[in-house]
Amino acid sequence: MSTSSDSTTTGATTASKHETAVILPANLHARPAGQLARAAATFTSAIQLEYADRTVNPTGVLAVMGLGATVGSTVTVRAEGHDAEQAVTALAEILAGAE
């Protein structure tokens, strides 16, 4: 996994951008897609998954499965917002542990 981050301060609040790339150990099928959707829904940050020039919001199981990512593929997780770092970490762990 490779990660990058950027923080932006606006007044008294801090929003940040985080990104990481994960090489899939298995195909991105219904079970990990469901886990990603449930996890993504718990964060307030704007989250995106990117694979093969396609970008989706990971809160939808069908959108995640529609990426068509297969074993050995690199999927990028991006988030922007107050809990972006936690969102990227949580989703990357799910992707890295896909079976």
Residue 71: partners with Cβ closer than 8 Å, 6 or more residues away? 24, 25, 26, 27
CA nearest 25: which of 74, 67, 59, 58? 74
H or E element at residue 66: helix 61-66
DSSP structure class, residue 34: H
Verify whether residue 82 is a known catalytic residue: no
Q: Which of 21, 29, 39, 76 is catalytic?
A: 29
Which residues participate in catalysis according to the annotation? 29
